[in-house]
Structure 1
């Protein structure tokens, strides 16, 4: 993993994820499945299914997972990660960014700080281009990323059958200065 010094902001510690965090990461991700705001996965994932994802991040030192932990309760409230945009080596300078916040922690600035932390970590991960794929109906996420200089790089109309409605995907991007 790149050298990352944990960050504390308003009694929330932002640090690298550990295997002990994985059950809570699965819970947070599964919450996003229920709301249909942040993922096209429609069925809750198991710990074993998410273990593969976690292991891939551990094997690629330039694709970390960061968690936001309440210093008082030690509960994981959110996580963010970089993932390969495409599996081919030539894309190693580009990464997809994802941020998931526990339902009870939304609206408290944790996602905003997580985005700041990940943006500061990107140069250490040799990332030059960051891509965010966000549902067009996820207005809070679109506003957050645009506030941090992400621009619309693409728009995919009705590409997801969300089991009740068709969702558009907005592709946002940002160039990271080294």
Structure 2
């Protein structure tokens, strides 16, 4: 049975599509592609249909990740379709809780930093949109860390 994971940020053009691309790549390298389904969305729909931000695509490409997702907004059916809905920051975490159609659905919502092991001092993944090169690199570092934690949570110690 597949575990279905949805990453969520504000516009679905930086953090969440990067997390989607990273998790997809890491799952492939770990031989877990058949065990997960991954997607991303935004709580804001103003970028609907757009590719990820060119700066994020460039930074991700330098690390070997291809970001080809087209932005979309979170839909009510996402709460039924996905096993884990992972928010990048508190604002999106709270928005997701307001959008959740039931308490059961809200139990599927997590913060990305809950899965990070190398960034224990960080409580959210910052939005790099208004930052320079270093902001995108920090976000990618955190997303790689969190995606490794997600994969570890899916594969019990054997």
Provide the TM-score with structure 1 as the length reference.
0.31
Richer in strand (by share)? 1
Richer in helix (by share)? 2
**Of the two, which has the highest radius of gyration?**
1
* Larger RCO (CA under 8 A, 6+ residues apart): 2
